Every structure is written in structure tokens, then in C-alpha cells.
Amino acid sequence: MARLLRPETVSQALRLLADGEVGTKLVAGGTAVMLMMRAGLLFPERLVALEHVADLDYVEVEPDAVRLGALTRLRDLERSVPLASALPTLARAIGFVANHRVRNRATIGGCLSEADYASDPPAVLASLGARVRLRSVRGEREVPVTDFLVGYYETVLEHDELLTEVVIPRPGPRVRTTYLKYVSRSAEDRPCVGVAAYVDADESGRTEEVRVAVGAATANPFMLGDVAQMLGGGPLDAGACRAVGEAYERAIEPIGDVRGSSDYRRKVTGRLVARALETTALSGHGNGAFRL
Ligand SMILES: Cc1cc2nc3c(=O)[nH]c(=O)nc-3n(C[C@H](O)[C@H](O)[C@H](O)COP(=O)(O)OP(=O)(O)OC[C@H]3O[C@@H](n4cnc5c(N)ncnc54)[C@H](O)[C@@H]3O)c2cc1C
């Protein structure tokens, strides 16, 4: 039977983590940890429950960045008016995670730390250039989300580190963003493939910066380097969107699982990347999220 510890401050939580390299497990919303314990996959000696840790539940919208406390529940993020107005695509994409019961418990810090490849928020956060703040008794560091997630269920978190904050740079006024969640089974399923697009183009349609992150198909969000360079700074017309989709389809090495084989995911990726770019740049529906 695991010993349950309930720190009330970040410092107390950090001390508990520093004390217990082996057999200590953090639990935030518990939606992943409890399932693993019930399935007999996890036998922690000590559970450090973060529920009562004050000060890590917030949405702060600053001129240059949006800060999300790691213990903010997905349901609160989905319903946050400041978040919806600063980063509408992220707020809507979070609303596509699972169902109300899960989102009422799950936290953004837990979602990222779990590092389950079949998740929605990581691709959107990667496309936005988000970073995570990690704290321990030894100090603090900030890591891009793309470097934080390093493998299937694997992050760069050390045993004594706590993810305390997600920091998202605010896109400039020209930037448009989209997230497309493709589900292959039931409507509230995890994504088979999710694509987040970020397009910064001038009034004539010439692209300055284009980022595309493919989620749920590989260990961590898959991004090709400089997509705008691939387009030669030219406009993102239907042909260019298709060409980028084809480049992603050629480059990605997707996982196969119950939601789709590797080959199926590869084909879906090509179509979805093209569609996400078209939606963002051409349809006038930019800055939204859609479940397909
Ligand atoms: C039925 C169901 C359907 C789902 N569908 C989707 C879906 O459609 N899309 C999607 O994206 N996700 C989906 N999920 C996953 C869900 O989003 C995650 O389970 C949830 O976000 C995890 O957050 P949590 O706070 O409950 O984490 P917990 O279960 O508390 O913890 C998860 C992991 O993170 C660690 N951890 C937690 N907080 C921190 C922290 N602050 N610092 C360091 N480590 C920490 C824990 O030790 C643990 O290893 C689904 C889950 C369920 C149960």
C-alpha cells in the first residue's frame, strides 16, 4: 500500500521529491496514475499528491507570453476567457481532450509529464513554441516542449523535478493557428493523428514563418524544419499546402496501434497537414480547432 503524502507548498513538494529517488510518484489529477496503479503497472511506495499545493493553478496573460500553472485543470483552461482570447486554438484543442469527467481532474502539467504520444495539447504547444519550467531543490530550468518530450512516455524530468509552469509566447497579430484532431474510433477517443499549424504571412500571403506539428503519430510531436523556407517564402496556396503535406507524409515514421496502422497514419498525416494549412491560410477559419 502506497504512503500518501500531501504537501501544501511547492517547496514541501520539492523536498519530498529530493528525499525519495526510488518508489516516489507524483500525482496531480490522477487520471493517468490511478489507471496505471489499478492495472497493476505501477507500485509506488510513496504517492506525493499535488492537489493541495497552492499557487500552481492559474492562467496569466502577459503582453508577450501566456503562463499556465502546472496544476491548472484542463476544464478550467478550456473555459478560461483570457486563454480563449489570447490563444483560442489551444483553449479549443484542450476542450477536445477525453470528456468532462477526465478534464475536470486532469492538469496541464500531468498531461505533459505523462508524455503519452496519443495526446492533443503537446502538438499545439509545440507549434506555438511553448516552454516548460522545471523546479527542484537544486534550482530551476526552462525547456522547450519539443525538448521536454523525448520518447514514448519519456521526458527529461529528473526524479526530483516538478513541472511548475507552461510558458507560451504570444503570437503576433498576423499569425493564424489551427488544430485538427482526427479520431478513428469513438468521438471522445484519443487522437489517431492531430495536426497543429502556425502560419505567419503578410497581407499578400507571403509566408514569414510556418510551423506544423504532428501529434499522436510518433513519440513526440513531429515537426519538419523550416516549412516557410520549403515554400521559398511564396504564398501558401492549395498546391503549396499539398506539397507540405506530401513532404510530411514522406518524412514521418508513425507508430501503429489500435487507432491505426503505421501506413494508415502516414497517409492521414499527409492529408491532415495539407488540410490544416489550408484551413489556417486559405479558408478564413484560422485560429480554431476542429475534430474530424
Ligand atoms: C478515458 C481517458 C481518455 C483520454 N483521452 C485523451 C484525449 O483525447 N486526448 C489527450 O490529450 N489526452 C487524453 N487522455 C489523457 C489525459 O489527458 C491525461 O491522463 C491527463 O492529462 C493527465 O493529467 P493528470 O493531471 O491527471 O496526471 P496524473 O495522472 O496525475 O500524472 C500523470 C504523470 O505525470 C506526472 N506528473 C503529474 N504532474 C506533474 C508535475 N507537475 N510535474 C512532474 N510530473 C508530474 C505523474 O507522476 C505521472 O507520471 C485521456 C485519459 C483518459 C483516462
Instruction: Give me the pLDDT at residue 284, please.
Output: 66
- Please list the residues that pair with 61 across neighbouring strands: 66
* Any atom of ligand 1 within 6 Å of the Cβ of 18: no
Instruction: Give me the pLDDT at residue 154, please.
Output: 98
CATH number (1.10.3470, 1.10.530, 3.30.70, 3.30.43) of 3-49 reads 3.30.43
Q: Quick one: which atom of ligand 1 is closest to the CA of 161?
A: 43
Cα–Cα distance measured from residue 118 to residue 124, given in angstroms and rounded to the nearest whole number: 13
* Any atom of ligand 1 within 6 Å of the Cβ of 282: no
Instruction: Give me the pLDDT at residue 218, please.
Output: 98
User: What is the 103 CA–ligand 1 centroid distance (Å)?
Assistant: 9
User: What is the 34 CA–ligand 1 centroid distance (Å)?
Assistant: 10
* Any atom of ligand 1 within 6 Å of the Cβ of 28: yes
* Any atom of ligand 1 within 6 Å of the Cβ of 102: yes
In CATH, what number does 176-291 get? Answer: 3.30.390.50
| Domain range annotation of the chain | 3-49, 59-169, 176-291
Cα–Cα distance measured from residue 180 to residue 12, given in angstroms and rounded to the nearest whole number: 40
Tell me if 162 sits within 8 A of 70, measured CB to CB: yes
Provide the strand spans (E) within 89-247.
131-136, 139-144, 149-151, 154-155, 162-169, 176-182, 193-201, 207-215
The overall pTM is greater than 0.95 = yes
Cα–Cα distance measured from residue 286 to residue 267, given in angstroms and rounded to the nearest whole number: 23
Instruction: Give me the pLDDT at residue 13, please.
Output: 97
Residue from 51, 111, 152, 156 whose mutation best tests the ligand 1 pocket (most atoms within 8 A of CB): 111
Tell me if 245 sits within 8 A of 193, measured CB to CB: no
Q: How many CB atoms lie within 10 A of CB 178?
A: 29
User: What is the 273 CA–ligand 1 centroid distance (Å)?
Assistant: 26
Instruction: Give me the pLDDT at residue 286, please.
Output: 65
Amino acid symbol at 284: G
User: What is the 74 CA–ligand 1 centroid distance (Å)?
Assistant: 10
* Any atom of ligand 1 within 6 Å of the Cβ of 106: yes
Instruction: Give me the pLDDT at residue 268, please.
Output: 98
Instruction: Give me the pLDDT at residue 283, please.
Output: 74
* Any atom of ligand 1 within 6 Å of the Cβ of 31: yes
> Which pLDDT tens digits describe the chain residue by residue (292 residues)?
789 999 999 999 999 999 876 789 999 999 999 999 999 999 999 999 999 998 999 999 999 999 999 999 999 999 999 999 999 999 999 999 999 999 999 999 999 999 999 999 999 999 999 999 999 999 999 999 999 999 999 999 999 999 999 999 999 999 999 999 999 998 889 999 999 999 998 888 888 999 999 999 999 999 998 788 888 878 899 999 999 999 999 999 999 999 999 999 999 999 999 999 999 988 766 678 999 9
Instruction: Give me the pLDDT at residue 114, please.
Output: 98
Q: Quick one: which atom of ligand 1 is closest to the CA of 191?
A: 8
Q: Which three cell numbers stand for residue 228?
A: 516557410
In CATH, what number does 59-169 get? Answer: 3.30.465.10
Tell me if 48 sits within 8 A of 27, measured CB to CB: yes
* Any atom of ligand 1 within 6 Å of the Cβ of 259: no
User: What is the 69 CA–ligand 1 centroid distance (Å)?
Assistant: 15
